[in-house]
Chain A
Amino acid sequence: MAIMMPASDQAVLARRSEIVAALRAIVPGEGVIDTPAEMRAYESDGLTAYRQPPMVVVLPDTTEQVSLVLKYCAAHGIKVVPRGSGTSLSGGALPLEDGVLLGLGKFKRIREIDFDNRVVVTEPGVTNLAISQAVAHAGFYYAPDPSSQIACSIGGNVAENSGGVHCLKYGMTTNNVLGCEIVLMSGEILRIGGKSTENSGYDLMGVITGSEGLLGVITEITVRILQKPETARALMVGFAEVEAAGECVARIIGAGIIPGGMEMMDKPAIHAAEAFVHAGYPLDVEALLIIELDGPKIEVDELITRVEAIANGCGSTTCQISTSEAERNLFWAGRKAAFPAVGRISPDYLCMDGTIPRGALPKALARIRELSEKYQLGCANVFHAGDGNLHPLILYDANKPGEIERAEAFGADILRACVEFGGVLTGEHGVGIEKRDLMPEMFSEIDLNQQQRLKCAFDSQGLLNPGKVFPTLHRCAELGRMHVHAGKLAFPDLPRF
């Protein structure tokens, strides 16, 4: 394992049976799992290259139980790793040898659907898709749609600030949640926000969203729901050069059009997807754009015409426009199956997740080609082109000595390039353990210290999900120390009024 996790606390491990008994007193019956065989299901998440059995798994089913578990762990200095459905692609739910794995899988109930206020109040273990399904009969849906939406939990979505294909137009999780019930590491239960459009005071909901399970354990969430657009149509446009496809994306946005989704695939991704789902993708192009317009029919038809003209102006070599739902779904089928499709052509792959300014796309793809040569590993690229979110899939074989290390080094170089081009390390998968040690590429020590001070405001002992997000852990007392800047006692000599 290339990533070092915090050293295990031997004193805690020595008390394991006592801890298991204490947890059983809080969560009776099958809610505490401590046999190696049963815990195996929890030893990894979506970042399967990393595995670690937890000390014990606890699956509470009430907020009070969550509170008591955290209170007990806080009192005894025991680390806790929260887990939703375990679909994190960055290792956000990777267990710790000396930690309690706190699963929220039993929080499966939608508590309230309020169409008048256009919100759903739900428990965190409900899947993303189940929320949309619960309100579909009234024409509503929950907009953020990560690819894992069949499996991923809404609690995990809040922890990771999940995105999806449609977030260009409809925003990420943070733009679609209004409130939550959260349990702090101390066991304190707090309610933040609710059905109001915005909250009072500091935007705690905003900073909890995307905090990767380091600030608290969410036990209830209030999300916004929207009316489904009347219709949606897609264009599938092929280009002989990646640059032309990038230019097409820029011109569509420049023309004031914000598509519901705008995805790009490069040649290796197109070929892998076509071989897998036979969506009718053109195989002789270097880049394929799938552009979806949604809204009233009259608007969609008009925008389809405008986008088609822009694509022609950018030298598209093929352009198909969906005329039915079946055809639109077929265009998407290949893109949506891109990851498993790549899984068929390579024994293993690493999925990266950097974001770059849209305009840097050709540069970024050229760099990825160079790196692919350097590391002698293949790479297929799928790309949320509308918002600059790149998903290079690095192909490797874990059974060949040294390939995983090469693949990880390749991935790290891609992410460094994203930062170099004005972008960021992760667009939607989170930092977790995967990108933790790259954080200094983007943030200075001062930047990271400020983030960790915020962590201290929620979890002063640093017991909640340690080892994730931050490359170096500091004690809260040390972070809070005010440095006296010697010789700077007087205000600087500035114009005064």
Chain B
Amino acid sequence: MDTLKVRDAKDVEEVVRAAIANEQPLEIIGHGSKRSIGHAMATNAVLDLSALNAVTSYEPNELIITLQAGAPLGDVLSLIDAKNQQFAFEPMDTAALLGTPVSGTIGGMIAAGLAGPRRIRDGGARDHLLGAHAVSGFGDGFKTGGRVVKNVTGYDLCKLLAGSWGTLSVMTEVTLKVMPKPEAERTLLLRGLDDAAANKAMTAALGSPFDVSGAAHLPKSEFRAKAEGLGDMAGQGEALTMLRLEGITASAAHRANSLRELLAPFGAAILVEDAASAALWATIRDVLPFAAGGALSAWPVWRIVCPPASGAALGFQLARETGGELIYDWGGGLIWAALPPKDDAHGAVVRARATAVGGHATLIRANDDVRRAVDVFHPQEPGIAALSERVRASFDPKAILNRGRLSRGATA
């Protein structure tokens, strides 16, 4: 293993150019916290961005921050928290789920694009990446976007970089939108709903004018009585449906009352405030019940995205067919599924069920053998797959960057 620790964007260009000349693919890492997501990469040369870790500029009044890609996520969150700001898309911290000692970098956060519960209201990483400097697989440093929120100058290549898992370009510096933290948060908890009823309750809440910023459901589960992060809420593993309201204090409290009335047919909701509420949503965001250190650490974990109102039907069938454990977020539009160990991690069932409702599934946690047996990323329609490959080649024709990560057998 050859690890090249770059010092600046110029180094990145030189490394990529040398890699092109030598036909030597590169694995791109920050802290390596998400290296276990995707297929094994066809290379033993690593481009390490962790030394590119500076905060280039932070302008709270402009609601923007510019960072080098290797800046540690935790440090950046602390920095903006001190100004009472946040990334509205609530980036997931994958450390607990994947069992890594570190939470990763800003570059990794964007390249993975894993957004948390507020995604349903405020969008994902793609919606908050305003501009980037990157080095393409041509070995050229380029920029896209800018440092302002409102910008339609040229193609929005930021959208492609977010969620590209490092296969298009090496991001060296990014500008992100930050938003004020809400003054208060309130969560309404409904107990004992089955998945279908919970899906209906979440749909009603999200279709209300009460500006719901989180809608999640933990089905009844034996194992969860012991799961992390839920504190007293874990109870005896009974079902919990959670709806979040954020904003100025008077407004959040008022909307919580209104929503509680709206949801009365689903039962009497319990109100959870501020810090206790935040802990609940961190549990959902980081999928703590499935943590690598917990009871399900040997179970593969899928991340299934589907039309929100289809969530319960999809999840219910999947749980019945596999004996798996589920967590619903995004009002039913995101299902985290931990399934009992199996050679293919139940891939055929998961994919068939997800595809049937217009959704897609990514295998986020699985051992090497399983990842050799099943596609980690959802297979695409041939036309979309061909276009995506042309798009990839337009950035990196020789597949120098993270070759093989996105598809099995693409290691040639």
Q: Which residues of A contact B (CB under 8 A)?
A: 114-118, 139, 160-161, 163, 167-168, 171-172, 174-175, 184, 188-192, 194-207, 209-211, 227-230, 250, 253-258, 295-296, 298-299, 302-303, 355-359, 384, 387-389, 422-431, 435, 439, 442-444, 446-451, 453-458, 469, 480, 482-485, 488-492, 494-497
Contact = CB atoms under 8 A, between A and B. Distances in A.
Contacts, number: 301
Interface stretch (B185-193, B339-347, B382-390): B382-390
Contacts of A200: 305, 360, 362, 377-378, 380
Interface of B: 2-7, 11, 14-15, 17-22, 45, 48, 59-64, 84, 113, 115, 119-120, 123-124, 126-127, 136, 138-144, 146-160, 162-164, 168, 179-181, 183, 203, 206-211, 247-248, 250-251, 254-255, 258, 305-310, 330, 333-334, 358-360, 362, 377-378, 380-381, 383-384, 387-388, 390-395, 397-398
Given A190-B384, A453-B394, A496-B3, A253 B63 contact: yes
A492 B149 contact: no
B360 A429 contact: no
Given A250-B61, A423-B146, A488-B17, A299 B250 contact: yes
Given A117-B309, A227-B207, A356-B148, A207 B180 contact: no
A490 to B, nearest CB: 6
A454 B251 contact: no
A295 B18 contact: no
B154 A443 contact: yes
Nearest to B245: A296
Contacts of B148: 355-357, 387-388, 422-424, 427
Contact of B360 (A196, A209, A302, A389): A196
Contact of B393 (A116, A168, A457): A457
A297 to B, nearest CB: 9
19 contacts: A114-B309, A192-B384, A196-B307, A197-B119, A202-B388, A202-B392, A256-B181, A296-B254, A298-B254, A299-B254, A359-B62, A423-B146, A426-B153, A443-B153, A447-B144, A454-B391, A458-B390, A489-B18, A489-B22
A423 B15 CA distance: 31
B156 A206 contact: yes
Secondary structure call for the A interface:
loop
Nearest to B183: A256
A197 B242 CA distance: 19
Q: Ordered nearest first, which 8 A-B pairs have the shortest CB separation?
A: A206-B159, A256-B180, A299-B251, A195-B307, A200-B360, A116-B309, A457-B390, A427-B150
Contacts of A116: 203, 207, 308-309
Nearest to A299: B251
B154 A439 contact: yes
A459 to B, nearest CB: 11
Nearest to B162: A203
B152 A426 contact: yes
Contacts of B115: 198
B395 A190 contact: no
A253 B333 CA distance: 32
B248 A302 contact: yes
B305 A357 contact: no
B119 A198 contact: yes
B18 A488 contact: yes
A207 B62 CA distance: 25
Q: Counting chain B CB atoms within 10 Å of each CB, which of A228, A302, A457 scores highest?
A: A457
Given A116-B309, A457-B393, 19 more contacts: A190-B383, A191-B381, A196-B306, A196-B358, A197-B305, A204-B391, A229-B211, A296-B258, A302-B250, A388-B150, A424-B146, A424-B151, A431-B152, A450-B157, A454-B395, A485-B139, A488-B18, A489-B22, A491-B4
Nearest to B380: A201
A359 B138 CA distance: 37
A182 to B, nearest CB: 9
A357 B147 contact: yes
B305 A198 contact: yes
Nearest to A172: B150
Given A428-B152, A495-B5, A204 B388 contact: yes
Contacts of B62: 357-359
A228 B209 contact: yes
A211 B150 contact: no
A422 B398 contact: no
B308 A117 contact: yes
Contacts of B305: 196-198, 200
A74 B347 CA distance: 40
Nearest to A442: B153
Contacts of A387: 148-150
Contacts of A427: 148, 150-152
A256 B249 CA distance: 13
B330 A197 contact: yes
B173 to A, nearest CB: 14
Contacts of B141: 446
Nearest to B64: A357
Contacts of B390: 456-458
